[in-house]
Structure formats: structure tokens, C-alpha cells
Amino acid sequence: MKRFVLSVIAGSFACAPHAHSAPVAPKTYAQALVERETARHPELLGVAIHVSPPNGSGDVIIASQNPGELGRKSSADQLQVIATGKPHSTVTGNGTRLVVDVPLLDASSRTLGVLSVTFAYQAGADTHALESKAVRVRDELRRRISHVRNLLEPAQVDARVTLDSYAQQLLDQALDKHPDIIIMAMHATLPNTHDNVIIASNIGRIGKRADEDDMRVVDTGKPNLEVNETGDRFEAELVFKNAAGQNIGALGVVYAYKAGDDKTALQREAEQVRDELARHIPSVVRLLEPVKSAAAAPGAPLRLLGRTELPDYSG
């Protein structure tokens, strides 16, 4: 998983599906995230992601609830949000909407661009409360973004693997239970094939074929432990097991890291997570079964829990 989760992937779209993979409609991971958030929070009138694509000419909208916004350049106010780390609000729609721009962050809290969130608005409404709600939406997305290039990758690489699977449900529950995990990805071999692919993750790439590092874990049964190129993430990639203790693939678990951190302790934590998951896995077939999407199910209406102060990549 070294070149897949921990490193900047220079050629995101070079990862083409296997010859036997079923074709899927191209949708970027960023667009899938926007659709996920608007499904979870139907009270939002709009969500848009602004970043500067690699080799691009500046910050633009790469995903939006409104397709007509795609490719639109970020405004001077939005660029100021990136520079200062502070939210900015604009009343639009003849006074009936409030657009809140907040810094877009990745799973390591690195600033990537801007997230624009649109709310219904009435004159005199508490803009600070709406800004805090926008920050909560941003923080939900933050745990599902590895780096800028991740946003431009396809959300689904192989149509044989559904986005809303039992595997994804288990992974999402594990992330909720373990907030210290930055990234998690499940690899398994599809039934009646030799194709080992990602079947669930919090960074998209569903259906992406395993690389050499992943397959070495699967084939040898030995973990792959490594620190990423920037030195701020540690991955323990482990043999993935079912409830019977059988090897069904590989599980990558990534934590925040700094020099001197106890790698052995982090490995043990990852093994505990792996073993917790295994108790709920009768088979790979069960993991691949579609379930009602927890992501699409409306979440609790966003409400103010306190004033949020905002602070002033790939890996």
C-alpha cells in the first residue's frame, strides 16, 4: 500500500481498471464526497470544493452540487480564506442565502483549498452559528481525504465492487470508534477471480487493484510497516482475517506519526482494530453485499455545539 496510501501519486488517473474490470461512469472522488454530504445533510443548499489541481492554473471548483459551477475560479475572498485560515461569509440570493467558505483540510489537517457551504438565510440570523455548522461539514469531509490528488481520482474503479457495501459499513463504524485512525483500507480477492482489490476505504479508490506491497502481505502473511515520505504518517498493513481466522486479504491502517513515536504500539492498535473487524466478517461474499448507505442516510441536523475557532499535499 506504500505507493497507494502513503505516497503522492503522480499519475492518479494512470491507475486504470484491470482488463476484466467492469467499466464505470467517471466520477471524481471529490464529487462523490459532495454528494455524500448533501445526502447526509439535506438542509444544505449547496456544497462545493475548491482546490488547485496539480499542473493547474489556480484554485477552481472541482466538485459541486451545482454542475454549472465546475471549473469556476475561486474568488479573491475565497483565496483569502486559504491564506488566513479564517472563514468568510457572503449573503447571496437577494438576501436569502449565506455562503460560508472555510479552509478545506485533509486527514492530517493540512490545508488543501476551500469548502463552500450554502445555507438558507434570513436577515439577522446568527452567521457565527452557520459558520460553525460549515466547519462541522468540513470536519466530516476531512477524515475522508488523503491529499489533493486523492480528490481528483475516480471514486470507484471497478463496478463489481459497490460503494455501499457491508465492508464499507464496517469500516465507517471502525473509524467512528477509533478517531486516531487517519486512513483505513480493506483489500480482498473478489470471489471466483484472482483480482485482489480495495473493497472499502475512507479515501475512495473502491475497486483499485492491490499493488506489490499489498500482495506481499497477502501472500506471505507478514505485515508491512512503514513511515510515509513526509514523516507524518505511519501505516501498519496487516493480514485481513474473517471470523474463522482465515486470510482474506490485507488491511491498511494509517496513524499520525512523528519521529520517536512507538511503532510497535501503533502496530498493536492496528491489530486490535483488525481483530475487532474480523469478528463481524463471516466471508468475503458478505463483505461485498450492498447495504443501505449510512452515508446517504440523513444525518442529524447540524446544530451549534459551541463557537469554533479556526487555525490561521499526498501522503
The verdict on residue 311 lying in a domain is no
The model carries a pTM of 0.82
The verdict on residue 293 lying in a domain is no
| Contact by Cβ (8 Å): 213, 2 | yes
State the Cα–Cα distance between residues 301 and 161, nearest whole angstrom: 30
The verdict on residue 253 lying in a domain is yes
178 and 86 belong to one structural domain: no
| pLDDT tens digits for range 123-180 | 999 999 999 999 999 999 999 999 999 999 999 999 999 999 999 999 999 999 999 9
Give the end of a domain, one of 150, 173, 199: 150
140 and 230 belong to one structural domain: no
CATH number for the domain harbouring residue 129: 3.30.450.40
Q: Mean of the per-residue pLDDT values for the chain?
A: 88
pLDDT at 293: 66
Give the end of a domain, one of 124, 150, 176: 150
The verdict on residue 294 lying in a domain is no
Region class of 260: left (phi > 0), else alpha (psi between -120 and 50), else beta: left
**Is the pLDDT score of 314 beyond 80?**
no
pLDDT at 305: 35
**Is the pLDDT score of 46 beyond 50?**
yes
279 and 168 belong to one structural domain: yes
**Could you tell me the residue range of the domain that residue 62 belongs to?**
29-150
The verdict on residue 119 lying in a domain is yes
pLDDT at 24: 47
271 and 177 belong to one structural domain: yes
- Tell me the HSE value of 150 on the side-chain side, using a 13 A CA sphere: 29
The verdict on residue 308 lying in a domain is no
260 and 169 belong to one structural domain: yes
215 and 126 belong to one structural domain: no
The verdict on residue 125 lying in a domain is yes
Region class of 40: left (phi > 0), else alpha (psi between -120 and 50), else beta: alpha
Work out how many domains the chain is built from and give that number.
Answer: 2
The verdict on residue 6 lying in a domain is yes
15 and 58 belong to one structural domain: no
Residue whose C-alpha cell is 483505513? 184
35 and 126 belong to one structural domain: yes
Per-residue three-class SS string for 250-262: EEEEEEECCCCCC
DSSP β-bridge partners for residue 104: 113
263 and 186 belong to one structural domain: yes
119 and 91 belong to one structural domain: yes
**Is the pLDDT score of 115 beyond 90?**
yes
Q: What percent of the chain has pLDDT over 70?
A: 85
117 and 96 belong to one structural domain: yes
One DSSP character per residue, 58-84 reads S-EEEEESSGGGTTPBPPHHHHHHHHH
Give the end of a domain, one of 118, 150, 182: 150
276 and 216 belong to one structural domain: yes
| Mean pLDDT computed over 196-207 | 98
